[in-house]
A and B are shown apart, each in its own frame.
Chain A
């Protein structure tokens, strides 16, 4: 005993000096107390065996340390730290050890487990034989025995960690609250706390190493360390560091190392044993008697593949490159004289190392660099050659390519002709798609495999050592995609050409591979170790040139549940040879490991851990294991259960409220954004935050969407709203201007500015100004534009802004206003003014309403609706109208008052605020228009009316003809324009017309063109420009047609001939009464000086041209107001009836019959036409007004239908324009009424008749239009809409032309009106 003790001490000196000291102390105690516990006796007794125990592991090992339960009180604090606190053993559980019987018992597993429980063991067991079970059982027993002990399972990669934690759980069911996986993803601070709170850790060695070094790992509590894939424990791998650190503490713990491939060399195995302090080697191989029943048959086939002609060629080329370098090295004597063809990179490396260690004497030091570079080049070249043989041309080529771009190799080889040739050759072969013989063989094998096996249950792993060839394999596999669902499984690192897979993706791939989402994975070395997929029954090793260790691991992926098959693809030649050589090596090492390697390896002593007092008996237990819950899911639940800190601050009432609205899981109530669509048509009142542009867009869209319903439902609404709009417009415009300066929405500013500017610029054409304002509005937003267009008149009138609204209102009112106005006019001229004024106001309201209505069926709808709305409007307007009348008297001021009234009228219509701007303008417009109209009417109306009447009849016919002839309605206008100047047509038609009216017709053309240009420029700013252009183009097209017609028209009316539309209106006025016309012009100029701006803008908006034109028309109408009113009705009639022209003429004729009123009516018709044409092509409409009136009516009808169908916008614009026109007309009418109540009455009657007809037709149209509008809104494709509209228009035109032609002639006389209605009825 004596002698042995020192030996013992010597042995343990390395790792546990204190233990030895303690033993001595114990011995002393024993000597003092001979009747000491049996344990101590045993300790003493066993000590002698200690030496032998290293060899004889099964003999109870000496317990160097006293059992923790009875630790003597040592003064050494280290000792206490080491052993006492954590490693307390549970005496009850220590009496047994548990072996699970959930899975069939395997003798070798049981035996190994028994061994591993009591000594540090290296388990070398072939893959798939259940190493994990051994580890799990050992861990579980230590878990039982040491209630405070901590157990660590280390696996080299995170996927393996995750795999093992689940596997262990499923074997022995260690409660999950004690287990945790610690990887690099867990932050160190969290790991520290986990180390304290958990007991079973599944870690990566790197994490373990770091935590031990940082001290966060409670090393003194460790009782068991399981090391998976222990063959990695070489050199400075974390495993070795960990064990060294633990031994240095020192700490007693059980080490269990697991591997399938301990090593291919004896030294390697010995290294592992040393590094891991192993005392026992448990080795089994497939042939062992206790293992073989569990080994599935695994057939290994070596398939030799010829190199392939292409590769062979390249290889030879490479050898050509290699030869000179090899020869040089040989000459230096560094390279042994061998055939350079059989050299391998490895041999070269060895030679280089040798050269570095001991340079061959005789080589000058200067040449060392040479030698080094030769070595480097050769190594690279041989590596490429190896790649070439084992993986094919592509990986070799990529390697070469890469190498040629960097480093010394590039420097050395850049001028080498041979390498360049080689590269070219490879490139050539690659471009030819040279299939690698290996790839084709592999595909062959796979297809054969899946002929036998079910692709859904069979799994295949293809291993390739080189990531570049993984891609090649994937590409090749795509050709048999029907049976093979392949994916790649590669490491994380991302190279230059290939992206790595994150661990998350790797896990996902494995998961899918298990579940059958893929049946083939192409893996690099990452897939070699530890993948436990039972269904894998075929492993293809794409390259054979790997170590036998890795080959065994690769093979281990199969044959786990069923018989497996391994196919090794080896290229003939060097690859095959090296494979054979390595396999032979692998066989040799097995011999060393037999019998536990007792004879071959030196083992280390290890603590028994369990005091010999306890002799654990095996207890077979069937575990009931809870379902394993992956940790990630647990984590997800944690945050949800956290109670936010703020909740503590809430009162119970508040909590109740929270619970009411924010009950987790279910939503009791969800705020709806669509609950109140009607409210979205009006801007809501704001507190401090103003509406954004998006909001205005939304409002526009909603208004468009709900126009139909709105118009139908709530004319009153619109009326009411209309007034508020005006108010708000003023207010809002300022705000909006401030908010959205860029947006044209800032109606007031833009309108005012533009209108003012234009007015200043083009004082001559008030209408243009009006249009400009409209244009601005339109530019701002379609919806708004419509509103604005209708309202533009108002705007124009006001600051030019007002002017537009008035015309609009008039126009809108026109149908109704005509009735009312006429009726009223009939009843009392004074009332007419009143009416007119009301009409204005109403028109404003109506404009909103009417705009919608107008849009729908334009005049017809408007007529019906407007009749209703007008009645309402009239009431309002009457109120307002009174103010308006006053305003008229007081001019603009009055109009402003009206606006105010309007504003007051519609407080609700917050949305209409914008429109309100328009209303404001209407008021002004009305005022101005009224003034102008009044003046004009007073001075000119009769003459003009007469002129117009005279002209109109002729023009309508001509226009009709023109329209018929010209595909486009505008042709008549164009004719005029042509007369004025064809150029004007495109952009200037409208302007010309306008100008002509304003200025003399002759002047008008030039001025108009200018205006147009200006307007066009302005319009260009507006979004609608494209439309304008289109319209302009159309106009231009029409103009050509119109030209033909125009001659006649021009002949008929000189003025008209120049600018049929505007000129007709204006021209009529002008021609008929130059004085009147001038007066009108002046008045218009006054009004439109501002309005001109608006008109210009409107014209500019010609994209929106319809509206603009309407506005212009409206302005024009102001002069022709009565005519416009009539026109409005006419428009409706026209639209409804293809004979729309005829209605207009009829009206005109009626007007003419009425004498003075007739001109107005004609003017109205013209305006209507204009408005319609505007909708289609504002320019044309404007131009053609007089002649066009008929034409425009036809066109408008056509266009209206088409436009309506095309886009509500156009219809709206038309309606608005119409309304404007009407409004404009209304004042005129008023004036005229004053002068000629009779004529108006007659007109009204005729209009009414027409209207009634029109109304019916309009309703229909409106309905149609509504539908179209909806569709249009849905699409929101204005261009498309335009295109459609054009198509529809053309169709309608053609129809109308045909129809019109017949009616037109009859209409030529006053009869047309009658005919028109009749036609309308018939048509509709």
Chain B
């Protein structure tokens, strides 16, 4: 909510860019395969561009991710509490994960 709790937008951006770059590379690879398999495929210029996000979109993404993470932690914490454990384990996360993912 407040600035202190917000995710570092630079960090989020870095993560995003990392993912984009990876996807871009995968796509290029698959494109190359496509091109050899079927000489039909045509490289579109847009496809070859890396995705980008403007600052507002980043801010929003940060907020969304934050609420996602906090919700995940809180839910996992509820599970952990119910088990009488004061430490959230991966299994706790796994329990709430399917529904959490569907809720977002």
Binding site for B on A (CB under 8 A): 487-488, 499, 501-502, 504-505, 507-509, 511-512, 517, 636, 639, 644-646, 649, 669, 671-676, 679-680, 683-692, 694-695, 698-699, 908
Contacts and interface: CB of A to CB of B under 8 A. Distances in A.
A310 B76 CA distance: 80
B95 A679 contact: yes
**Among the interface residues A488, A649, A686, A699, which one has the most CB atoms of the partner chain B within 10 A?**
A686
B25 A636 contact: yes
Nearest to A509: B39
Contact of B42 (A499, A639, A675): A499
B3 interface: no
Contacts of A689: 67, 71, 100, 103-104
B32 A684 contact: no
- List of 9 A-B pairs having minimum Cβ-Cβ separation, nearest first: A687-B74, A508-B35, A694-B102, A695-B102, A675-B94, A679-B95, A508-B36, A676-B95, A685-B78
A691 B67 CA distance: 14
Contacts of B35: 504-505, 507-508
Interface centre among A499, A669, A671, A684 (most CB of B within 10 A): A684
Contacts of B67: 688-689
Interface of B: 8, 10-11, 14-15, 18, 21, 25, 28, 31-32, 35-36, 39-43, 67, 70-71, 74-75, 78-79, 82, 90-91, 93-104
Contacts of B97: 671-673
A505 B43 contact: yes
A511 to B, nearest CB: 6
Given A669-B90, A674-B98, A689-B104, 18 more contacts: A501-B42, A504-B32, A505-B35, A636-B28, A646-B14, A649-B11, A675-B95, A676-B95, A679-B96, A680-B99, A684-B78, A684-B96, A687-B74, A690-B103, A692-B104, A694-B103, A695-B102, A698-B98
B42 to A, nearest CB: 5
B103 A504 contact: no
Given A505-B41, A689-B103, A639 B75 contact: no
Given A646-B11, A684-B95, A687-B75, A692 B18 contact: no
15 contacts: A487-B39, A505-B41, A507-B35, A508-B35, A512-B36, A636-B25, A644-B18, A673-B98, A675-B95, A684-B99, A686-B103, A691-B99, A692-B102, A695-B99, A698-B99
Contact of A645 (B10, B28, B74, B100): B10
Contacts of A674: 98
A1052 to B, nearest CB: 54
A511 B10 contact: no
Contacts of A691: 99, 102-103
A504 B38 CA distance: 12
A686 B43 contact: no
A182 B74 CA distance: 54
A507 B18 CA distance: 29
A692 B94 contact: no
A660 to B, nearest CB: 11
A639 B39 contact: no
Contact of A688 (B31, B74, B82, B99): B74
B98 A692 contact: no
Given A671-B90, A699-B99, A644 B14 contact: yes
A1188 to B, nearest CB: 41
Nearest to B41: A505
Nearest to A688: B71
A381 to B, nearest CB: 34
Contacts of A669: 90
Contacts of B94: 671-673, 675-676
- Which of A645, A685, A699, A908: most chain B CB closer than 10 A? A685
Nearest to A501: B39
A698 B43 CA distance: 39
A985 B79 CA distance: 50
Most central of B95, B100, B103 by chain A CB within 10 Å: B103
A504 B43 contact: yes
Nearest to A911: B99
A686 B71 contact: yes
Contact of A687 (B78, B93, B104): B78
A680 B103 contact: no
A226 to B, nearest CB: 29
A691 B96 CA distance: 11
Contacts of A644: 14, 18
Nearest to A669: B90
Contacts of B39: 487-488, 501, 505, 508-509, 512
A879 to B, nearest CB: 23
A499 to B, nearest CB: 7
A687 B103 contact: no
B98 A639 contact: no
Nearest to B93: A671
Contacts of A639: 21, 25
Contacts of B74: 687-688
A698 B102 contact: yes
Contacts of A645: 10, 14
B51 to A, nearest CB: 14
B31 A504 contact: yes
Contacts of A699: 99
Q: Which of B18, B90, B97 has the most CB of A within 10 A?
A: B97
A684 B43 contact: no
A673 B97 CA distance: 6
B8 A508 contact: no
Contact of B75 (A649, A676, A685): A685
B6 to A, nearest CB: 15
A512 B79 CA distance: 57
A636 B75 CA distance: 40
A511 B10 CA distance: 42
A673 B90 CA distance: 11
A675 B79 CA distance: 14
A517 B98 CA distance: 45
A212 B14 CA distance: 36
A646 B67 CA distance: 21
A1268 B85 CA distance: 40
Contacts of A673: 94, 97-98, 101
A685 B74 CA distance: 9
A752 B90 CA distance: 40
Contacts of A675: 91, 94-95
Contacts of B43: 502, 504-505
A511 B37 CA distance: 11
Nearest to A504: B43
B92 to A, nearest CB: 9
Contacts of A508: 32, 35-36, 39
Contacts of B75: 684-687
A504 B8 CA distance: 39
A687 B74 CA distance: 6
A512 B39 CA distance: 10
A688 B73 CA distance: 11
A486 to B, nearest CB: 11
B60 to A, nearest CB: 16
A187 B35 CA distance: 23
B9 to A, nearest CB: 11
B10 to A, nearest CB: 7
A59 to B, nearest CB: 53
A757 B82 CA distance: 40
Nearest to B77: A687
A502 to B, nearest CB: 5
B45 to A, nearest CB: 10
Contacts of B102: 691-692, 694-695, 698
Contact of A505 (B8, B21, B42, B95): B42
A502 B42 contact: yes
Contacts of B32: 504, 508
Nearest to B21: A639
Contacts of A687: 70-71, 74-75, 78
B102 to A, nearest CB: 4
A504 B43 CA distance: 7
